[in-house]
């Protein structure tokens, strides 16, 4: 694909807080956001962008547009351990000489970043269980081996980013809210007096659901609980991991709940007409056909709905020649 990549861009959101828009190589997701918050003589940087050959230059470009430099970073925190939010943690920490804080449940990322073959083997196994044919698995594996991990190198946080930790900035104190679901390591940051929420990928301006599959018992249930936790904060401005800041935070939370409910209902309806594999269920759940390019994401999402319904006692599965076949439970 010959698409012109975006360039890093910086803009002030409110005095003392800047949005750094950093380019991504992914179709349909052209950029991610990092956030700089004034803190004394420097800044707290929230999230890093993905690691690519020119990614530090893109970050420098975005910072330069708002008269900041990497050396101003006094503390680096990450909302979660996905490559677009965590990938450059190592070079930023080294350049700035700062501490790096992240939630301790980051095994999902560390293990897959340290062992590319293990990560691929897990994805292939998920696809095989979902009922993807062997020939398509081979094509996927060839393509996936060539994809960059987006992680410069794996570093452990200097401190766990958990609820009893807070961030001190010129805009006041930011509390840590644990919000697993999108990723086990996900947290949001909340500034109570200003009712500002750094929402990462938990609540996005354009509703888009994604769950890490296989690292926690019930990502969908965890995500719904995390939506409740954030809704109780009554935030009035969300600064999300992708896209522009938005104000109707409660409306977006409701939108996420509604879409999850709709997809669970669609899984249920798909099974009402007979036993199916995840590959057979997916076309009933999403408004786009399953392709080699979206299958990884959509099958993982479908399996998360199935696990959620299984824990509720509504569906069950049995193995059938390597693939799991799902059916409604006898009620
Ligand atoms: Zn993410
Ligand atoms: Zn993201």
For residue 271, the CA-to-ligand 1 centroid distance in Å is 29
For residue 183, the CA-to-ligand 1 centroid distance in Å is 7
Q: Which residues neighbour ligand 1 (ion) by CB within 5 Å?
A: 82, 201
For residue 178, the CA-to-ligand 1 centroid distance in Å is 14
For residue 32, the CA-to-ligand 2 centroid distance in Å is 6
**Distance, CA of 317 to CA of 293 (rounded, Å):** 26
The pLDDT, as a whole number, for residue 331 is: 66
Query: What are the phi and psi torsion angles at 77 (to 5°)?
Result: -125, 150
Give one DSSP letter per residue of 155-183, joined into a string.
Answer: ---SEE--TT-EEEETTEEEEEEE--SS-
Q: In this structure, are residues 88 and 32 in contact, taking their beta carbons and an 8 Å threshold?
A: no
Side by side, the strands of the sheet bearing 187-191 are 166-169, 172-178, 187-191, 196-200, 237-240
For residue 84, the CA-to-ligand 2 centroid distance in Å is 5
Cβ count near 167 (within 10 Å): 21
For residue 274, the CA-to-ligand 1 centroid distance in Å is 34
For residue 58, the CA-to-ligand 1 centroid distance in Å is 20
The pLDDT, as a whole number, for residue 1 is: 42
The three-class DSSP label of residue 298 is helix
For residue 291, the CA-to-ligand 2 centroid distance in Å is 21
For residue 242, the CA-to-ligand 1 centroid distance in Å is 9
**Distance, CA of 62 to CA of 18 (rounded, Å):** 10
For residue 183, the CA-to-ligand 2 centroid distance in Å is 10
For residue 242, the CA-to-ligand 2 centroid distance in Å is 6
For residue 237, the CA-to-ligand 1 centroid distance in Å is 20
Query: What are the phi and psi torsion angles at 80 (to 5°)?
Result: -170, 165
The pLDDT, as a whole number, for residue 137 is: 87
pTM of this structure: 0.94
For residue 202, the CA-to-ligand 2 centroid distance in Å is 9
Ligand with an atom nearest the CA of residue 243: 2
Question: How would you write the pLDDT of the chain (331 residues) with one tens digit per residue?
Answer: 445 568 999 999 999 999 999 999 888 889 999 999 999 999 999 999 999 999 999 999 999 999 999 999 999 999 999 999 999 999 999 999 999 999 999 988 888 888 888 888 888 888 888 999 888 888 888 888 878 889 999 999 999 999 999 999 999 999 999 999 999 999 999 999 999 999 999 999 999 999 999 999 999 999 999 999 999 999 999 999 999 999 999 999 999 999 999 999 999 999 999 999 999 999 999 998 888 888 888 999 999 999 999 999 999 998 777 789 999 998 6
Q: In this structure, are residues 138 and 145 in contact, taking their beta carbons and an 8 Å threshold?
A: no
Q: In this structure, are residues 200 and 188 in contact, taking their beta carbons and an 8 Å threshold?
A: yes
């Amino acid at each position: 694909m010959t698409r012109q990549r975006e360039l890093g861009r910086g803009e002030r959101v409110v005095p003392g807080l800047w949005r750094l828009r950093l380019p991504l190589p992914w179709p349909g997701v052209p950029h991610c956001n990092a956030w700089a918050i004034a803190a004394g003589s420097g800044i707290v940087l929230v999230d890093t962008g993905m690691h690519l050959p020119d990614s530090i230059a893109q970050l420098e470009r975005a910072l330069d547009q708002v008269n900041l430099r990497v050396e101003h970073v006094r503390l680096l925190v990450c909302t979660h351990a996905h490559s677009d939010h965590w990938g450059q943690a190592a070079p930023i920490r080294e350049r700035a000489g700062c501490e790096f804080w992240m939630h301790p449940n980051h095994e999902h990322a560390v293990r897959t970043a340290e062992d590319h073959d293990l990560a691929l083997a897990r994805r292939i196994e998920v696809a095989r269980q979902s009922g993807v044919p062997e020939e398509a698995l081979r094509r996927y594996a060839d393509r996936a081996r060539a994809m960059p991990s987006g992680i410069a190198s794996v570093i452990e946080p200097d401190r766990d980013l958990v609820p009893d930790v807070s961030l001190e900035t010129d805009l006041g104190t930011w509390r840590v809210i644990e919000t697993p679901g999108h990723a086990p390591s996900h947290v949001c940051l909340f500034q109570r007096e200003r009712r500002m929420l750094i929402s990462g990928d938990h609540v996005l301006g354009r509703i888009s659901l994604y769950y890490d599959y296989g690292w926690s018992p019930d990502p969908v249930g965890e995500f719904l609980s995390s939506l409740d936790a954030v809704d109780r904060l009554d935030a009035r401005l969300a600064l999300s991991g992708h896209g522009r800041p938005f104000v109707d935070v409660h409306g977006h939370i409701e939108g996420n709940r509604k879409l999850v409910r709709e997809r669970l209902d669609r899984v249920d309806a798909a099974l009402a007409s007979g036993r199916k594999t995840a590959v057979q269920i997916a076309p009933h759940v999403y408004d786009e056909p399953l392709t080699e390019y979206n299958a990884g994401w959509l099958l993982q999402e479908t399996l998360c709905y199935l696990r959620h319904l299984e824990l509720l006692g509504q569906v069950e599965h049995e193995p059938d020649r390597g693939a799991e076949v799902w059916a409604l439970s006898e009620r």
